[in-house]
Structure 1
Amino acid sequence: MRKTLLYAVPVTFILVSLTLMISGGWLKEPMGDQDELLKSVQNIEQHVKRNEWQEAKREHTYTKKAWTIVSKRIQYSVGKESLSEVSQILSRMEGAIEANDANVTLVEAYSFYELWENLG
């Protein structure tokens, strides 16, 4: 019994750690109505293209909340730099929305898409 535990505990720990480290791809996907991050950025893009700035601001508020939820889930499976870069993109996007600058908002949205695709 003791010998079994001696091997089972480290092997279990290693398996759980590996699973957590490679799970970023599916952990970034929405798991409810509160964390649909990709869809939210796509909605912002559509609002900006139609010059609906108030709706874009509301959607960005949801986006920040969704990012908070998703970032907690994926923090152990992606690099810290990637998490920071997504946060920076969302902050720049917020500034562009406040300034009603469609060009910068769309550039940041497409930067987000590229990063999101490679995340996890």
Structure 2
Amino acid sequence: MLIPILILIFFILIMLSGPFLKKPRGSYDDVIKNIDITTKAVLSENWKLAEQNTKKLDSAWEIVIKRIQFSTERTEINNISLNIARLKASIAAKDKSSALIELSSAKEHWNDLGK
């Protein structure tokens, strides 16, 4: 009787840990910081910096995915991954408006992650 209750409690804790697990552990996995830096680079049309920060953003996101994969909805994870993929293409094309749309969408999905 005690083991099933402990297992249920364990799974509930995992499912509710999304907001805690998405917080950065260091600069290497700070998704929101990289989104903000990339946004500033795109606004100033510094495409080289935008490309560099998009790579950092992608690396940080891959680290965070491993932590949150069991505690958040898969569609939210996929949406952010798709935003980053589109962002890479927008920056390669030097399309300011498209890049800003993807950054804004990624930030909105990030804020909804774990709710």
TM-score (norm 1): 0.91
Deviation at 1:27, TM superposition (A): 0.8
Alpha-carbon distance in structure 1 between the residues aligned to 2:25 and 2:81: 20
Alpha-carbon distance in structure 2 between the residues aligned to 1:10 and 1:29: 30
1:75 aligns to what? 69
Aligned AA for 1:22? L
2:45 aligns to what? 51
2:14 aligns to what? 20
Deviation at 1:83, TM superposition (A): 0.9
Name whichever of 94-103 and 24-33 sits farther off: 24-33
1:38 aligns to what? 32
Q: How many residues align?
A: 114
Q: Secondary structure at the match of 1:78?
A: coil
TM-score (norm 2): 0.95
Deviation at 1:82, TM superposition (A): 1.0
Q: Secondary structure at the match of 1:30?
A: coil
Percent identity between the aligned chains? 30
Matches within 5 A, 1:101-120: 101-120=95-114
Deviation at 1:10, TM superposition (A): 2.0
Structure 2 unaligned regions, length at least 5: none
Aligned AA for 2:107? Y
Deviation at 1:11, TM superposition (A): 2.0
Aligned AA for 2:24? P
Q: Secondary structure at the match of 2:29?
A: coil
Q: Which is higher, the Rg of structure 1 or of structure 2?
A: 1
Deviation at 1:85, TM superposition (A): 0.8
